[in-house]
Structure formats: C-alpha cells, structure tokens
Amino acid sequence: MLPESVTKAREILQDVTPLRTDCGLTCGGACCQSLPGETTGMLLFPGEERWYEGRSGYAMTPTDHGMLLTCSGHCDRADRPLSCRLFPLLPLLREDGIKVATDLRARTVCLLAKQGKDALLPEFVAAVREVGRILAEDDDQRAFLAQLTRTQDELKALRRQFRRDAHV
C-alpha cells in the first residue's frame, strides 16, 4: 500500500501532462530511454517502491539519494512513478512555501526543460504545485522534497560557477 500522500499525488498527475499532445513524440521519448552503457531511471518517493515490488519490467536499485527505478522504457501510464508524472518539473520547498521549477537534471534530455516551465501548460504547473503541497504535509515526503531541493540548489550553484568561469 502506498502512503496516502503519494497516492493522492499520483492521482492528481494521472491525466494532466506538460503539453496537450504527447511530448514524447517530439523527442522520441528521450526521458524514457537510457543511453548506451548507462542505467538511468527515476527516484521513487518514500514508500513508492511498494508499488513496483514483484512487477515485471522494473528494477530497483538503492542509491545515496533514494531508490532508483529503471524500466524498459515503455510502461502502462497508470504505473508511472511520481517522478515521471512530475517530469520535467520539480516542487521545491522554500521559506515562503512550495515553488515549482524546471528540474535541472531534466535539461540534458528534455527539450521542454530547456524552454522552462513557461512553455508548459499552466494546469500542469498548477498540478505539480498542488502535489508539492500535499507531499509537504507528510514528514517522510517533506524530507525527500527537502533533499530534492538541496540537489536542485547545488546544481544551480554549479551552473552559475561554470558560467562565471567561462567568462573569465
């Protein structure tokens, strides 16, 4: 059984998507494909691994950042993990509440992430914000969101540093 907050979050994002069309048609589903020699996947939110235990077509690997789910690159839409449903956005914990940003990790594979959240449907952005609010009410999910926020902030700082160094 999934945590109630994760179940609600998954339901909210079940049918709302970044674009009115299948964005995977634009890039060949790049977010669902691993590069040769790499194993890429999505981090599961706390407790979400229970959904995938014993299901064929999925593998889970513990990492320093949480449980990483990998798949064949094709899945039943109802089985998508929460990270896939949020992609390419990320709800972030900020002093003044939940903010939604483009996940900087997505920029390497997603054309939409490179354009920013303004290129996405407002109802998708709003749904991600609502999901962030729901998750932040659960202590385990809030801690995971805090970890994702720190990672996003570290990546942002690195990008700034590299930009400064490039101009020197």
Q: Measured between alpha carbons, how far is 9 from 86 in angstroms, rounded to an integer?
A: 10
Residue 168 has pLDDT above 60, yes or no: no
Q: What is the pLDDT of residue 162?
A: 79
36 prior amide bond cis, ω within 30:
no
pLDDT in tens, 16-33: 999 887 777 777 777 777
Q: Which two tokens stand for residue 106?
A: 């997505």
Q: How much of the chain, in percent, has pLDDT values that exceed 70?
A: 97
pLDDT category at 50 given cuts 50, 70, 90 is: very high
Sequence ranges of the domains in the chain: 4-17+25-166
pLDDT in tens, 70-126: 888 777 888 899 999 999 999 999 999 999 999 998 888 888 888 889 999 999 999
Q: Measured between alpha carbons, how far is 140 from 129 in angstroms, rounded to an integer?
A: 18
- Cβ atoms within 10 Å of 42's Cβ, excluding its own: 22
